[in-house]
Structure 1
Amino acid sequence: MVDSSSKAQKIFRHLLVLANPSANSFDHSIAAEYAGGVKDNGQHIVIRDLYATGFDPVLKATERPAAAGWTPAPDVVEEIELLRTADLLVFVYPIWFGLPPAMLKGYVERVVGAGYTVNDLQGAVGQPVVQGKPLISFSTSGASYEWLNSQDQVQALKTIFDVYLWRGLAMSRAEHYRIDSVGSAMDPAYAAEQLAHVREAAQNCCARLASGQYRSEAEAEAARRARKSPG
C-alpha cells in the first residue's frame, strides 16, 4: 500500500511573457524578480522573451479561425502548448502610446486567441488553453501614475486589455500591477522598492495556487457565467 503522503505534489507552472526589446530594461528586471519569487516557493516558471526569441507577431490570413481547415501555425505550436500546461499567465511589458507593444498584441492574437472566433469571444465560451486561469500583468511607464490617470489611461488599459481578455476568454481573474516613472534616471531605492513588490506579488500568486484559492475563484466564476447564460 502506497502512503498518500509520499505521492509527488503538483508542481504549479507559471508562464511569463515578456515584451520589451531592450535586454537592459526594467521589465527584464521585473521578469527576473518574479521568477526568483516563484522558484523560492518551489514552483516552476517559463519565461518567453518575445523579442529575444524572434516571435513573429503578425497574424496571417490562414490563421484566422474562420479559415477552412484551421490549424495552428507551426511556429506557435510550442507557444500554445506552454500556455496549455501553465496554471497562471503573466504579462510583463511597457506602456507605449497608451497600449502594450504590438509584439504582445500579436502574441495574444496568434497564441492566446488561437482558433477562438468572434462568436466564442462574445459568448465567452472559454478558450481551452487559458480558461479558468488567472492573468497577472506588470506594466511599466515613463510617465507618472498621476499623469496617466489624468489622461484616463489607467482605467482605459484595464478595460480594453485586462478585463476584455479575462471575460472574453473565460479566465478566472485579471490582476494588474503598474510601475510608473521608469527610466534611466530611476532612483535606485525606488527601483529596489518596486522589485520587492514584484517578488511579493509572485509569492502571493504562488500561495494562491498552492492553497487552491485560484481554483476556487475559477469555479465561482464559472458558476456565475452559467447563471448568466440564457440557456
Structure 2
Amino acid sequence: MKMLIIYTYPNHNSLNYAFLQNVIKGSKQNQRIKELQVLDLYEEEFNPLLLFNEQKRRRDMHTDPNIEKYRQQITWADKIVFIYPIWWGRPPAMLLGYIDQLFASNFAYRDKKGLFPEGLLKGKSVICISTMKGPTHYPFLWLYNAHKILMKRALFNFVGIKKVKFFEFGNMESPKGKQMKKLEKIYNYINKLEH
C-alpha cells in the first residue's frame, strides 16, 4: 500500500501535528504500507487561490504544470490521509483551495451523459482525521452532518472514492479532551490498517 498524508495546519507545535506524527509512526510500523509521502500544505506554501481567465481556463486545470507534482502524488497513492481542523463547520480554506485545484475535471472525474460524472480516482481510499474545539457531536447535531456530507458525498464519491473513514475529534482545547487516548487510537488504527 502507498500512502499520501495531506497535512493542513499552520503550527507544528500543535495537537494536529501530533496526529500527523502518530500517523507517520503507525504507517512506518505497518508492513502493509510500503511507501509513504507527506504533503504539508502550509510548509509547502501551497497557493490555495483558484485563478482562471481567458488565458488560463478552468477546463484546462488538469494539465496545469504548476500543480503537476500534486497530481502525481494523488495518482501514486492507494490511500490518502487528510489531517486538518474543522473551522466554521468545514475544513480550512487552505485545504479547500487544494481540493478546488487538484480534484479537477479530466483528472479526478470526467463528465458524461446523465446526472453523475465518471469518477477517475476509483480504487483509492481516504481517511479524514479532523479536530475541533467544540463537542464531538456538534457537526452531526447542529450542522446536520455537513462536514461528512461535504467530504464524502460532494467530493470523494463524486470522483469515484467510495471507501472513506472519518475520525472527528471534539473538545480538543479542553483539559478533559482525552487527547492522548485519541492520539493512541489513530496510531493503533494506522498500525493495524490492512488496506
* 2:181 maps to 1:193: yes
Correspondence for 1:57: 48
* 2:63 maps to 1:75: no
* 2:85 maps to 1:97: no
Correspondence for 2:117: 124
**1:176, CA displacement in angstroms?**
0.6
CA displacement 1:124-156 (0-9 Å, x = unmatched): 3012xx322111100100111244433135x11
Distance 2:122 2:57 in 1: 21
> Percent identity over the alignment?
22
CA displacement 1:188-227 (0-9 Å, x = unmatched): 8x2210011101221343x1x2xxxxxxxxxxxxxxxxxx
- Larger radius of gyration between Structure 1 and Structure 2: 1
Flag the 1:60–1:122 CA change in 2: closer, same or farther, 3 A.
farther
CA displacement 1:12-38 (0-9 Å, x = unmatched): 210010111112121111111011111
Structure with bigger strand share is 2
Flag the 1:146–1:161 CA change in 2: closer, same or farther, 3 A.
closer
CA displacement 1:48-107 (0-9 Å, x = unmatched): 010011001112212512x5xx65322211111011111101111000101100111111
Aligned residues of 2:78 and 2:123 also touching (Cα < 8 A) = no
Moved over 6 A (4+): none
SS in 2 for 1:57: coil
Correspondence for 1:4: none
* 2:6 maps to 1:14: no
User: 1:169-188 maps to which residues of 2 (within 5 A)?
Assistant: 169-183=159-173, 185-187=174-176
Equivalent AA in structure 1 for residue 153 of structure 2? V
Distance 1:71 1:175 in 2: 27
Higher alpha-carbon deviation: 32-41 or 109-118: 109-118
Structure 2 gap ranges (5+):
none
Equivalent AA in structure 2 for residue 203 of structure 1? N
Aligned length: 188
SS in 2 for 1:145: coil
With a CA cutoff of 8 Å and minimum separation of 6, indicate the structure with the bigger relative contact order.
2
Structure 1 gap ranges (5+):
1-11, 210-231
**1:177, CA displacement in angstroms?**
0.5
Equivalent AA in structure 2 for residue 158 of structure 1? K
Distance 1:79 1:131 in 2: 18
SS in 2 for 1:135: strand
* 2:130 maps to 1:139: yes
SS in 2 for 1:168: coil
Distance 1:126 1:34 in 2: 27
